[in-house]
Amino acid sequence: MTTRDLVLSALFAAIIVALGLLPPISIGIISVPITAQSLGVMLAGVVLGAKRGAVAVLILIVLIAIGLPVLAGGHGGLSVFAGPTAGFIIGWIFAAYVTGYLSELLVKPEQTAINQAIGFFIASVAGGVVVLYAFGIAWLAIVVGIGFSKAFIGSLSFIPGDLVKAVVAALVGRAVMAGYPLLPQRN
């Protein structure tokens, strides 16, 4: 990894932190709030790609672990990794990686703008929703002990907002691709 890669990853870790300044919204069904930080995870994947996007989230997780209040609502510290949101937070690593990997596969510079945006959207939904929910729901069901059905049904309330985040990530990914492409290409 080059110095440039580390700087870009740190920049996106900072973007995810900044999105945490927006207050979390409690939904009451499950003890996981709606936050804007998952948008930052999707953005890291679509703009930076798999490896650098995952490194951005790893930087954020180190900041959380050392106790900095970088999560929505000003949370941080090791206790976060024992709480109900831990599955989603750990899932961010894999969500950013999968979003980036699929973006690298699906989006090519020679494609039309609409095809690039669609590729970014598909990558964002697959990584930032499907993969992330797999980790978050499994954690809630097994570790927190609320059962898969309650965890799954409670997580359904996140889907409309996460689809909007995926659209935003796709549009931003497309704009960055047009102006200053950072996304590595996979064959």
Helix, strand, coil abundance in the chain, percent, nearest 5: 70, 0, 25
SS3 sequence, 78-141? HHHHHCCCHHHHHHHHHHHHHHHHHHHHHCCCCCCHHHHHHHHHHHHHHHHHHHHHHHHHHHHH
Residue 49 lies in a domain: yes
> What's the token pair of residue 12?
């996106």
User: Is 12 exposed, middle or buried (CB count within 10 Å of its CB: 0-12, 13-18, 19+)?
Assistant: buried
CATH (domain of 171): 1.10.1760.20
Question: Residue range 95-105: average pLDDT?
Answer: 97
Q: pLDDT category, 137, cuts 50, 70, 90?
A: very high
Alpha-carbon dihedral angle through residues 83, 85, 88, 93, given to the nearest 10 degrees: -60
Residue 109 lies in a domain: yes
Question: pLDDT (tens digit, 9 = 90+) per residue, 71-93?
Answer: 999 999 999 999 999 999 999 99
Q: Which residue has the tokens 């609502």?
A: 73
Residue 171 lies in a domain: yes
Say if residue 155's pLDDT is above 70: yes
Residue 44's H or E segment, with its range, is helix 37-48
For residues 170 and 124, is the Cβ–Cβ distance under 8 A? yes
Residue 98 lies in a domain: yes
pLDDT at 66 (0 to 100): 97
Range of the domain at 15: 3-179
Q: pLDDT category, 32, cuts 50, 70, 90?
A: confident
Q: List the single range of 112-116, 133-137, 152-156 with lowest mean pLDDT.
A: 152-156
Q: pLDDT category, 187, cuts 50, 70, 90?
A: low
Q: How many C-beta atoms lie closer than 10 Å to residue 81's C-beta?
A: 14
Whole-model pTM? Answer: 0.94
Residue 139 lies in a domain: yes
Total domains present in the chain: 1
Residue 137 lies in a domain: yes
Q: List the single range of 5-9, 60-64, 144-148 with lowest mean pLDDT.
A: 144-148
Residue 186 lies in a domain: no
Which residues lie closer than 8 Å to 105 by C-beta, 6 or more apart? 186
Residue 187 lies in a domain: no
Which residues lie closer than 8 Å to 154 by C-beta, 6 or more apart? 27, 29, 30, 32, 140, 146
> d(Cα 48, Cα 43) in Å, to the nearest integer?
8
